[in-house]
Structure 1
Amino acid sequence: MKKQEIIEFTTADAIVKELVRAGVEAAFGVVSIHNMPIYDAILREGSIKLICSRGESGAVNMADGYARATGKLGVVITSTGTGAGNAAGSLVEAWSAGVPLLHLTGEVASAYLGTGRGYIHECKDQLSMMSGACKKAVQLRNPEQTASVVRKVIKEALTAPMGPVSLEIPIDFQSAIIEDLSIEEVQLVASQSSLAALIPEQAVTKIIEASRPVIWAGGGVISANASKELQKLAEMLGAAVITSQSGKGSIPEDHKQCIGHFMAYESTREFLRNADLLISVGVRFRGNETSNWKAVVPEEHIAIDADLQAINRNYKATFGLVGDAKEMLKALIQKLEEKSVSPVSTYIEEIGSLRNEVRGKLRKTLGPYEQFVDGMRDILPRDTILVRDVTVQANVWGSRLFEIYEPRTSIHASGGGIGQGLPTAIGAQIGCQDQTVVLMAGDGGFMLNVGEMVTAAEEKLPLIIVLFDDSGYGVLRNIQEAAYGRQVAVDLLSPDFVKLAQSMHFDAVRIGSGDEFVNELKKAQERRNPSMIVVDMEAVGPMAKPFGGPPGAAEAFKPKKR
């Protein structure tokens, strides 16, 4: 009879124990000689699902998409040096989007750290590289402190402003035998009444007196699970709701008071200029959404944000309310319920007029693609998760006209990098197996992580990819043409995407009209297998108005005197 193997408790086991304690159910990554002890500990523990990506960059995006779609901590495991470096770009995206993500990476043996002696996978200064890509980077220096360090970095990732945290563990530490110690914490939670008492009466008075209030909802609403509270506040006040790209889904986009992600439109900016109060909730006021902060906000501005440093960073706040958006909105609603608040009916009608105006104006630019957006919204379930890579169709109508009804069902590249959509969609589908996940991507960006199609097939994911193929970088083509009247480095040779997808175990088809697209989307939705619809953009035909990039993009690149 084979003698039962006795497994000693190691640093790797302590890491996994803390992951399980934090409720981690899935981890993404690439196995390596510099993380094998962690992988083995996950295998032995047995409750965490391991998803094997084809590259570290894709693994981070998968953990990112998983976290955004589920609201849970994303976990990614990579190797040392080059492996960690491959992860850096995708970690920047997670940082830009404020995604709670734990990056576990190996390091060279502790005796060789910083020596430059050529230990395999050595990086000159890996900790600094990770620090530049993340919210924070930490190196484990004492195996006996593993549990406390892992718990601390998980808290750091989940504490506003949320973001990716990298923890590097030297390979000799990962197998170090340590004591299995217990750490207990006591937490104090503020009561709702105590929070309400902290809201200044002057701020409440400003809200009650406002006749043209606007709420600007950002990603902080989604992160705090504060959508119900935001909608209740909007309805109490009769306020217009503008959303940032990250804030889509913070209020159903078929709500009569939702203007949506249309701040790029002059009519929306004029509407905001004429408002007498702005309540911003979890908004970063990004440069590309405010024309590099040229958009004008009302003088009276109540800013709600969990990040103390966000207050007055881009726009002055009359009152800054710092705290979790859900709790702060609850407290504010409690204060308002004690008063008399009456929405102005004529103002709500004005909101509806603006809502219809901006949507109608955009629709006139779509040409044949109007059938695409309508077909998608008619066919796909209300809780479909729409992931958008950087491509013309996603920028023009995918981020505006495809209505989002629930939080965590709109995912986009916050940092503007191309090619991250596929693995991000895979992570979202892993986290939400029963929901439909659709990726909108362009051929240029798609090729950056095309190998991750195999990961989707291996996991038997019912992911639907809508690939817009114009054999090049369409956004840059249009910007170059407008700025210079010529194009360079934007034309690309496309592979036969249908054969490529089929070789990676996807059902795939190429279409050249709106009718074909609608029919094939219905089939893909029904079969619940990995599916790709390749849109032949030359066959479909051009948009009624070419997309020239974000407002002012072409002008910014024209030669000018200093």
Structure 2
Amino acid sequence: MTQSKQMEAPATNVVNAAEYTVADAVVKELVHAGVTTAFGIVSIHNMPIYDAILREGSIHLVCSRGESGAVNMADGYARATGKLGVVITSTGTGAGNGAGSLIEAWAAGVPLLHLTGEVASPYLGTGRGYIHECKDQLSMMEGCSKKAMRLRVPNQAAAVVRQAIQDAETAPTGPVTLEIPIDYQSAIIPNHSLAEMKVLTPDNNPITYFPEEAISKIVVSRRPVIWAGGGIISANASKELTELANLLGAAVITSQSGKGSIPEDHPQCIGHFASYAQTKELLEKADLLISVGVRFRGNETSNWKVQVPSEHISIDADWQAINRNYEATYGIVGDAKLILGQLVNKLSEKQVKRDEAYVSEVRAVREELRTHLRATLGPYEQIMDHMRSALPRDTILVRDVTVQANVWGSRLFEIYQPRTSIHASGGGIGQGLPTAIGAQIAAKDRKVVLMAGDGGFMVNVGEMATAAQEELPMIIVLFDDRGYGVLRNIQQNAYGRQVAVDLLSPDFVQMSQSMGFEAVRIGSTDEFGEEIVKAVKSIKPTMIVVDMDAVGPMAKPFGGPPGAADSFKPRKL
């Protein structure tokens, strides 16, 4: 069934057009916010909202196979576009099913509105066994969202929805849950207008002050390093970042979330290698760090063992990010695009001189890191090169948690544009498939490629049917090692033995074909090269299953993230 057929309006509307309800107010606010796509599963506890969407007619509804997948789809859509992601779930179990994916959106700082039903208002908190009842749904949602809200007065629906959207889109951005009791959703309310009045200032640029002392530190720096995070991409500040790097001759480290903030073929781009020995040495010799929109996550800094220069200018939109993980000599809070733009202008007036010897050193470190890591890949070096050669520069690469994604998909596979690199920030397996579906719905004219492992892929495998129903031309590259490969290697590294990591997998080719995918299993790098070219040309969803036993092992086994094994070895507290 195509989506257009699914969305056909009934011959007669049950609800009279004059009967404006809370559900209508919700949809009106979504349209006001520019929402054109929403994800979810219809339920008896959100049916009025679904019906209001049908009657309004401008929002495309994507029907997932599970609430977890629906949240991931809204997440992927938001990351690929920079727009608000919207997901609609049911009450209790339905909302709980989405909790893990909300944690992922929270970890990645994704602006997302989660609309969920609640039991009828008279039964809230009574424990009487109303269908789908949860003991304390609001607290559950608060624990996995940036914020959780409940509509308590039906007439306030428009204002509460608008507030929830603004909270989701205000730095630090993140998922906001709004629960609406089912009896409120169909409550008839006045169709009030809602407007915001903004105070205009003479100066349209809110950034009026950049510490002169900080400017002086930058001017005299001879070995500067810029650490670019996801905040660069959220602020659309890639142009300003690249200008600053060129002006200073600075090395640019990127976090995982910051990939694509500067083209990764830029000669000064170190990339996502912060915890590697060569990068650590570069940081130790640096005389200045400028960090922009970086969380400094534990797994990207060897649990904060990476040392940074004492002179540190931290730029972030979140007040609480300053000094959270590394001390900052100067903390500057605001929009990265405006701040970096002003900084470039001020430094241009100072006629800053690049140290070309240092720039050459940065380039050498960049090449050494890549050469060293390539040497560990074995046959997967060719698979990576085949992928990068066949795929357009604007391909969106989505990575589930799997060995190949961790080792080279997040480091050596070059990303050239913002919003074309999506990964699991929270570390949960299996969220890659629905996230990639959301990204492909957001960018139907571009290629979206998912890297996944067989173990994680099975978590949300049913969402393949969603991809087929939406007629998405996505490509799945499935690395099949018949188990949880990441954990298998970490266990071996930590204990010298393995447990609970070997899995019986289905015939992925037959399974994919049964759900409308073109599919093939390959056992050599040459076969992969041929099949990835075919997949790029195809307009149908495609799966390439990489038989890792047939292709062969990596030259150096993956032992887990830096320092991971140390956490599991027996030790005295």
Q: Same fold (TM over 0.5)?
A: yes
Matches within 5 A, 1:34-45: 34-45=45-56
Identify the residue that residue 269 of structure 1 maps to in structure 2.
280
Q: Is 1:384 matched up with 2:395? A: yes
Tell me if 1:458 matches 2:469. yes
Aligned-pair CA distance for 1:327: 1.1
1:276–1:300 Cα contact (<8 Å) kept: yes
Deviation at 1:3, TM superposition (A): 12
Cα distance in 2 for residues equivalent to 1:528 and 1:300? 51
What is aligned with 1:240?
251
Which stretches of structure 1, 4 residues or longer, exceed 4 Å deviation after superposition?
A: 1-5, 189-196
Residues of 2 paired with 1:491 and 1:321: CA distance?
A: 49
Among 550, 563, 566, which residue is 1:552 paired with? 563
1:83 paired residue among 94, 102, 107: 94
Are 1:357 and 2:368 an aligned pair?
Answer: yes
Map 1:531-550; keep pairs closer than 5 Å: 531-550=542-561
The answer for the alignment partner of 2:314 in structure 1 is 303
Conserved in 2, the CA contact under 8 Å of 1:219 and 1:246?
yes
User: In the alignment, which residue of structure 2 is the partner of 1:101?
Assistant: 112
Matches of 1:507 and 1:363 in 2, distance apart? 31
Secondary structure of the structure 2 residue equivalent to 1:338: helix
- Counterpart residue number, 2:143: 132
- Please, which runs of 5 or more residues in structure 2 have no aligned partner? 1-11
2:442 is aligned with 1:431: yes
What is the distance in 2 between the residues matched to 1:313 and 1:543? 37
Residue deviations 1:438-457, cap 9 Å, x none?
00000000000000000000
CA change 1:439–1:192 in 2 (3 A) is: farther
Question: Is the contact made by 1:196 and 1:335 (CA closer than 8 Å) also made in structure 2?
Answer: no
1:273 match: secondary structure: helix
For residue 437 of structure 1, what is the amino acid of its counterpart? V
Is this contact kept in 2: 1:439–1:464, CA < 8 A?
yes
Q: What TM-score does the superposition give when structure 2 sets the normalisation length?
A: 0.97
* Superposed CA offset, 1:260-307 (max 9, x none): 001121110110111000000000000001111111000000000000
Is the counterpart of residue 290 in structure 1 residue 301 in structure 2?
A: yes
Which residue identity is paired with 2:317? A
Q: Which residue of 2 aligns with 1:197?
A: 208
Question: Following superposition of structure 1 onto structure 2, how do residues 508-523 of structure 1 map, counting pairs within 5 Å?
Answer: 508-523=519-534
Equivalent-residue separation in structure 2 for 1:228 and 1:49 (angstroms): 32
Alignment of 1:130-529 (within 5 A): 130-188=141-199, 195-529=206-540
Matched-pair identity in %:
73
Deviations 1:176-226 (A, max 9, x none): 111111111122466778645311100111111100000000000011111
Shift of 1:485: 1.1
Q: 1:165 to 1:259 in 2, by over 3 A?
A: same
The 10-residue stretch of structure 1 (2-11 or 327-336) with the greater mean CA deviation from structure 2: 2-11
Of the structure 1 ranges 134-143 and 336-345, higher mean CA displacement relative to structure 2 is found in 336-345
Q: Distance in 2 between matches of 1:450 and 1:503?
A: 12
Counterpart position of 2:5: none
Partners in 1 of 2:401 and 2:202 — Cα distance? 43
Any conservation in 2 of the 1:114–1:124 contact (CA below 8 Å)? yes
Partner of 1:54: 65
Whether the 8 Å contact between 2:207 and 2:338 is mirrored in structure 1 is no
- TM normalised by structure 1 equals 0.98
Q: Cα gap change, 1:537/1:271 in structure 2, threshold over 3 Å: closer, same or farther? A: same
Question: Where does structure 1 lack aligned partners over 5 or more consecutive residues?
Answer: none
Which deviates further from its counterpart, 552-561 or 123-132? 552-561
CA distance in 2, matches of 1:549, 1:177: 56
Say if 2:479 and 2:545, in contact at 8 Å, map to a contact too: yes
Number of aligned residues: 562
CA-to-partner distance for each residue in 1:371-403, whole Å, 9 max, x for gaps? Answer: 011101100000000000000000000001100
CA 485–190 in structure 1, closer or farther in 2 if over 3 Å, else same = farther
Root mean square deviation, CA, Å: 1.4
The answer to whether the 8 Å contact 2:268/2:359 transfers is: yes
Determine the C-alpha separation between the residues in 2 that align with 1:3 and 1:146.
Answer: 22
Larger mean CA deviation between 192-201 and 316-325 belongs to: 192-201
Distance 2:203 2:314 in 1: 19
Alignment deviations for residues 445-490 of structure 1 (CA, whole Å, 9 cap, x no partner): 0000000000000000001000000000111111111111111000
